[in-house]
Amino acid sequence: TGGSSGIGLGIVERFLSDGATVVIADIKEPDMTTLTTKYPNKIFFSKVDVCDESLIRSSVELLLNHSDRLDVMVNNAGIINVAGLADTTAESWLKMLNVNVVGVALGSKVAAEYMSADKKGGVIVNASSGGGRHGVPMFSQYCATKAAIIMMSQSFAQELAPAKIRVNCYTPGHIMTPLWEDIVEGMGKKLGKSREDTLADFLSTVPWGRFGTPADVAATVSWLCTDDAEYVSGQCIGMNGAELPW
């Protein structure tokens, strides 16, 4: 889910290069011209609101029209809101919880059902965030939802292990994506700083000396879905350029 841009699109591109058949399940359809030309009959789009379980099922059925089974589900769709506590509302809390938490739960539920059907197992990978490991001012809603994803993934991993379904999550640090640009813009406005100064502040927290890329995240997600990671489940893996404690 959420494969139309940013980290999700990076994962799509990596999976295609690995030889997978991929369905992008997203609310927004991307321009897939280049990818469909490079990978004919290997990439498809399904318009999905992740809060609608029936639409998630439809995206899996689309995959099964072109592939033998569902081997991997990546629940990457998510939204963010830069807001101090005083600016939050019940409506904004529920919107964040529905997309970021319920969407991941429903995606995991549907994936587990299909992966259990033939008793061959599978892999579920959920998108958390460094903000799910510790609180960040102005991001309480986002941090709360991303922390929930870590706990859900650990719970699902233990529950689904007998079915040989592995569940892990990833916690990116500062990854340059359209979502990250929204964060920079929002923080800049709150702090009265320019984009350049806000970026410099964030970069100063990364010992590795650069921001991450979607490809950095996708490489780890790809590995989690291989047989080499067969004994890895219930884990939360960060890619953050040594930015601790993320």
Please state, as a whole number, how many other Cβ atoms lie within 10 Å of the Cβ of residue 41: 8
The secondary structure of the chain in percent helix, strand, coil, rounded to multiples of 5, reads 50, 15, 35
- DSSP reduced 3-state for 165: strand
Peptide bond into 245 cis (omega under 30): yes
Which H or E run contains 131?
none
DSSP 23: E
Residues 6+ apart with CB under 8 A from 143: 129, 131, 132, 134, 135, 136
Which H or E run contains 45?
strand 43-47
Catalytic residue among 39, 142, 170, 231: 142
**Backbone phi and psi for residue 46, each to the nearest 5 degrees, phi listed first:** -130, 120
Q: Say if residues 128 and 100 touch (Cβ distance below 8 Å).
A: no
Distance of CA 124 to the CA centre of its chain: 11
In whole angstroms, give the CA distance from residue 212 to residue 173. 7
Active site residue 142: yes
User: What residue has token string 């809060």?
Assistant: 51
Q: Which residues are catalytic?
A: 142
